[in-house]
Structure 1
Amino acid sequence: MDVITELLGGVRARGADFCQSIASPPWSLRFTAPPPLTVAAVVRGEAWVTPDGGRPVRLAPGDAALVKGPSPYVVADSPTTRPTVFVHGPGRYDGPPGDPLISAPLAPRTYGTADGECLVLSGHFPLGGEVCTRLLSALPPLAVVPSGDRGIARALELVQEEITGEGPGRQVVLDRLLELMLVLTVRLWFDRQGGKAPGWYTALTDPAVGRALRLMHDDPARPWTVAALAGEAGMSRAAFARRFSALAGQPPLAYLTEWRMALAADLLSGAGLTVAAAARRVGYADPFGFSAAFKRVRGVSPGSVRAAAPS
């Protein structure tokens, strides 16, 4: 399992808020409390996305974008069009009475006017947990992937076909297509960053270090040592340690410890495991040693994370 798979493994649409909006200028929507991550794509026309405090970015047909919450942002036909519709969350809107974008849907999950010049598809992911936070921390407030990728283009075609169809299991198909769009867009955006991509992503392309990363993610509880990882990678201990640090931005065991603690935080807050059980799941036989490592890495005790978890 690679790092992208692990980070996105917990991202499941499961009926996530998904819609297509069709409109002709002028139109403008302000998302006042957006979820942690939104993926959007323009099918026809153009749209402008303006994060609060950021510059407007144009989306042309075929472009895909990742927008991070919870900071508000505006999607409009032009950066100068003032918002008239305010989206506060799934099914919660404010705007002029009769505005097509918030009136009765044209079809399931389809709003606006059928002959509108612009068609935008969007899906909103209510991500949670420390593992997903690692992904979000590697993304800017707005990341745009220009048109041209065949995978995203085909996914958009399939989404439109499924929205307008009436086949059984349509919701499940749409959810999986939404996940596909997210994974493709994240991967393509990182690929375009070159030296600005996160260290762990760059390291995945290296045969030796990438293998070590996959091994740590496949079995984080295994008592890994630098020598054991170097052996799996087919390198000397010293050469492997230097190469890993240069590519990933930190030593191999420091990376492993941070990953273990992110997993443990999710186990404590999401799965409700005891501190001792979470410790065993991430490779610590001694809960006291685990607690010390957890507090050193995360700044809080594992007990406090578990106590703050929703009952």
Structure 2
Amino acid sequence: MLKEGSHRLKKQDSTFDILDDVIATLRFRGSIFFHSDLAAPWGISLPPLPTPRFHIALHGDFVIGTSEAQLPIMQMDIVMLPKGDMHWIADETSSELVPCQLAGDACELGNPLFQEGEITNRIMCGMVEYDEAISHPILDALPSIFHFTHIEVDNPIWTTVRQIDSEIQRTNSQRSVIIDRLTEVLFFQLLHRYIAENEHLHGFLAALRNPRLAKVLQLLHDNPEKPWTLATICNEAGMSRASLQRKFKAELDLSPMAYLGSWRLAKAYQLVKNSSLTLDNIADRIGYADARTLRAAFKRHYGFSPSALRKGDSEV
């Protein structure tokens, strides 16, 4: 559980430069899928999805339940499920649940459910999708659920929440470019806050907290095009081979060179998909000798060729 203060998040060392690079490469895309006033009793079940989801108590309190726990969510709290696990939200644990799709469709049709009696809650639910073909250790480093409590009105996070809420009410729609972009901003704010204030990080996020590993990650993210070897990484980072490999493996369950290879291919995926650069240009930007070498590595990693991705023929 994380308590929000009114202070602004500050970048510390290279942590958030690396994080922003990862976020940009994974190309998170936000949207609001449910926004409604509700009259108790009410309950909504949500199936598992491979995308982070969050719920915001704009007015009133509610309960969220997963296979592992139940948490009370107070007014102005935000709860996020980064791994998209199956869960439910309700005014009380005993309330009957309806599928999220049914509740969402009713809102879209202008005939929302749970409207009989006095309005007790207003909730807003969002999700953030990303290119699932790309894997990165940050996705494994996030917990199944985290809870932000007592967010203050003047906190930048709540400012973004109010902007989304106001835009939905102004347009009478949950879908617009502005709402989607603000939802992405909110996700990034929550992620930054979680990292800045949580003392028990693991995996990739713990590596960002380790000054020596963060230096290595910064080198690889800033200069993926360099002809890195384990020896040159160690020289730049001022670490022995044994120490670097041991620490890297302990936190990321990867060797430094395996991480670099995976990161280069993640960058390649986005450049192939979202730019008009030639494969030779892309290879030069991310540290491959030539297009042929990149093409072979890309096909081996993703199971389809760069040309198939660019033509939209890949099954992703």
Query: TM-score of the superposition, structure 1-length normalised?
Result: 0.72
Question: Does the 8 Å CA contact 1:34/1:70 hold for their aligned counterparts?
Answer: yes
In structure 1, the partner of 2:161 is: 156
Report the CA distance shift for 1:112/1:261 in structure 2 as closer, same or farther (over 3 A): farther
**Cα distance change on mapping 1:79 and 1:34 into 2, 3 Å:** farther
- Judging changes above 3 Å, is the alpha-carbon distance between structure 1 residues 90 and 82 closer, same or farther for their aligned structure 2 residues? closer
Query: For the Cα contact (< 8 Å) 1:39–1:65, is it kept in 2?
Result: yes
Pick one of 76, 84, 87 that aligns with 2:100. 87
After superposing the two structures, state which structure 1 stretch, 146-155 or 119-128, moved more. 146-155
> Is 2:2 the counterpart of 1:2?
no
Correspondence 1:76 to 2:90: yes
CA–CA separation in structure 2 for the residues paired with 1:31 and 1:178: 19
1:217 has 2:221 as partner? yes
Is the 1:35–1:127 contact (alpha carbons within 8 Å) kept by the matching residues of 2?
no
Q: Structure 1 vs Structure 2: percent identity of aligned residues?
A: 23
Structure 1: which 5+ runs fail to align?
94-100
CA distance in 1, matches of 2:79, 2:180: 18
Counterpart residue number, 1:204: 208
The alpha-carbon deviation at position 257 of structure 1 amounts to 1.7
Question: What's the counterpart of residue 48 of structure 1?
Answer: 63
Q: CA RMSD in A?
A: 4.1
Q: Distance in 2 between matches of 1:289 and 1:56?
A: 50
Q: Distance in 2 between matches of 1:34 and 1:158?
A: 26
Q: Which moved more, 1:29-38 or 1:287-296?
A: 287-296
* Contact 2:51–2:83 under 8 Å retained in 1: yes
Distance, in Å, in 2 between the alignment partners of 1:253 and 1:217 is 13
Change (3 A) 1:26 1:305: farther
1:260 counterpart SS class: helix
Question: 2:77–2:148: 8 Å Cα contact kept in structure 1?
Answer: yes
Cα distance, 1:227 vs structure 2: 4.3
Alignment of structure 1 residues 14-163 onto 2, 5 Å? 16-32=31-47, 34=49, 36-51=51-66, 53-68=67-82, 71-84=85-98, 86-88=99-101, 92=105, 104=110, 116-131=119-134, 134-148=137-151, 150-163=155-168
The 1:20–1:219 alpha-carbon spacing in structure 2 relative to 1, beyond 3 Å, is same
| Partner SS, residue 4 of structure 1 | helix
Deviates further, 280-289 or 22-31: 280-289
Q: Which residue number in structure 1 is paired with residue 199 of structure 2? A: 194
Cα deviations by residue, 1:139-164 (Å, 9 ceiling, x for unpaired): 34433233346332332233334444
Cα contact 1:152–1:181 (8 A) shared by 2: yes
Unmatched runs of 5 consecutive residues or more in structure 2: 1-15
Counterpart contact for 2:36–2:123, Cα < 8 Å = yes
Offset, 1:243: 7.8
Counterpart secondary structure, 2:101: strand
Return 115-124 or 260-269, whichever deviates more.
260-269
Q: How much has 1:45 moved relative to structure 2? A: 1.4
Shift of the alpha carbon at 1:138?
2.9
Shift of 1:270: 7.1
Instruction: Give the letter for the 1:65 counterpart.
Output: V
**Counterparts of 1:5 and 1:172, CA distance in 2:** 21
Q: How does 1:256-275 map to 2 (within 5 A)?
A: 256-266=260-270
Q: Bigger shift: 56-65 or 33-42?
A: 33-42
- Amino acid across the alignment from 2:140: S
Deviation (angstroms), 1:237: 4.6
Compared with structure 1, are the counterparts of its residues 92 and 103 closer, same or farther at alpha carbon in structure 2 (3 Å cutoff)?
A: closer
Distance, in Å, in 1 between the alignment partners of 2:40 and 2:189 is 30
**Which residues in structure 2 correspond to 1:216-295 (within 5 Å)?**
216-233=220-237, 235-238=238-241, 241=244, 245=248, 248-266=252-270, 279-286=283-290, 290=294
Instruction: Describe the superposition over 1:52-73 as per-residue Cα deviations: whole angstroms up to 9, x where unpaired.
Output: x343222212221222566543
Q: What is the CA distance between 1:286 and its match in structure 2?
A: 5.0
Larger displacement relative to structure 2 (110-119 or 277-286): 110-119
CA contact 2:79–2:145 (8 Å) conserved in 1 = yes
Partner AA of 1:49 in structure 2: I
Separation of aligned partners in 1, 2:183 and 2:116: 23
Partner SS, residue 22 of structure 1? strand
Aligned length in residues: 290
